[in-house]
Amino acid sequence: MAKGDDLQERFINSAVAIIKICEQLPSNPAGKHVSGQMLRSGTSPAYNYGEARGAESRNDFSHKLGVVLKELNETGVALEIAKRCEMFSADGLAPAQKECKELSRIINASIKTVDKRK
């Protein structure tokens, strides 16, 4: 499996984890709001990384990776809000938070590499 395929698999697994978390958040107004936001931003990186892999140029690739990074950052914030509001156990959120941070570091490094090669 190619490196990009491995990363795509991680993004898909991360999206699945986010969906499962969202399904367990409270159904009160605050829980629904955080869940909706987290669901959108938490699944978006998988889709956008798939798009980036089909980029038409280095600039397009870098731009699409930037979108992935923005969505990962938003997801990290949503996970932290859910944790601080005690909508989900801190231990239950820890793996998703760790993966979100790791994927952010990988994408950030990829953007820097692509930008150096321009």
Closest CA to 85 of 36, 31, 29: 31
Number of domains in the chain: 1
Domain that holds residue 69: 3-117
Q: What mean pLDDT do residues 28-52 have? A: 97
Alpha-carbon dihedral 85, 88, 94, 97, rounded to 10 degrees: -60
pLDDT band at 115; cut points 50, 70, 90: confident
| Domain harbouring 55, CATH code | 1.20.1440.60
Determine the pLDDT at residue 1. 60
pLDDT tens-digit readout, 44-63: 999 999 999 999 999 999 99
